[in-house]
Amino acid sequence: MNCRLCPNKCNTFRDLNTKGGMCNVSSSPSVARIAPHFWEEPPISGDKGSGAIFFSGCTMKCIYCQNYEISADNFGVQIDARILADEYRRLEALGVHNIDLISATQYLPEIIRSFEIYKPKVPVVYNCGGYERVETLRALEGIVDIYLPDFKYSDNALGLEYSKVNNYPEIAQKAIEEMFRQTGKLTLNDKGIATKGVLIRHLVLPNHTKNSIGVLNILKENFGKDATVSLMGQYIPHGKALEHPKLSRKITNREYQKVLNHLLDLELDGFAQELKSADESFIPLWNYEVK
């Protein structure tokens, strides 16, 4: 196919054997890890874990990505829709709260086929960078129960410099509007586990509290009381960020508290991560093998 799945609209030919586009992967899913994951937000991981499927490649090129080995270097094992459906069943048998599709957009046609083979009995989570086409998201209506997007930038220039994408704030806002249209405000069951809705993540970057405050302002202005925000302090210099003068350190307590105070001033609902989460021990091992 000539791919236009993501906002980059590369129009590059990709098939089961031919790689290309911004993501530089084929159309057949490649995965680096499929296992219960306990380090998402409390309503996602709960006490039994999220059934996380880490896909290789990405539609963005974030120079600080903590999953750099799989998002940029494309480490992973190629599978097909049938195997993917089998993995949904396996994860369900392990008792996970949901099936968590992480950075999956570049493989969407094959992923949709996997749900035609088997629709999980637990909620399906779409875990993405927020840089999504509305037209592509519409193909997920009725499949995805919970959207878990990032909102990374209020400054388009940062999107270009750090993630190699254009018009990030505008595109992410429209994408999240579509996510809300499909699933609504985040809904939890009586055990505090998410069953439906949208949970918006924002990672605070060092030297960029102004960007973070801008993101929170956008969320407040456009989504108000419907927005549930996960403010993340887990930033670790990784990938090319180790060489970047502004990104080569962790965030400080002062930086994080400044953004957290603004979240509280805006009275946005959500979660705030502890800074001790900025530890490489939380990065999973990329060890998937076809069962």
pLDDT for the residue numbered 16: 84
Distance, in Å, from the CA atom of 93 to the CA atom of 122, rounded to the nearest integer, reads: 11
Is residue 148 within 8 A of residue 176, CB to CB? The reply is: no
pLDDT for the residue numbered 276: 63
Is residue 251 within 8 A of residue 64, CB to CB? The reply is: no
pLDDT for the residue numbered 281: 53
Distance, in Å, from the CA atom of 206 to the CA atom of 56, rounded to the nearest integer, reads: 26
Residue 8 CB contacts under 8 Å (≥ 6 apart), including other chains = 21, 22, 59, 165
Task: Break the chain into its structural domains and give their ranges.
Answer: 2-282
Report residue 188: phi and psi, to 5°: -115, 150
Is residue 86 within 8 A of residue 116, CB to CB? The reply is: no
Compute mean pLDDT per 10 residues along the chain, 291 residues long, and list them. 91 89 91 94 96 95 90 89 97 98 96 97 98 98 98 98 97 98 98 98 98 98 97 91 95 96 96 70 65 50
Q: Give 194's strand partners.
A: 188
> The domain at 2-282 falls in which architecture?
Alpha-Beta Barrel (3.20)
DSSP 63: T
pLDDT for the residue numbered 74: 84
In terms of pTM, does the model score above 0.75?
A: yes
pLDDT for the residue numbered 264: 96
Q: End-to-end distance of the chain based on CA atoms, in angstroms?
A: 29
pLDDT for the residue numbered 227: 97
pLDDT for the residue numbered 288: 67
Is residue 171 within 8 A of residue 156, CB to CB? The reply is: no
Is residue 237 within 8 A of residue 250, CB to CB? The reply is: yes
Q: Give 54's strand partners.
A: 33, 102
pLDDT for the residue numbered 135: 97
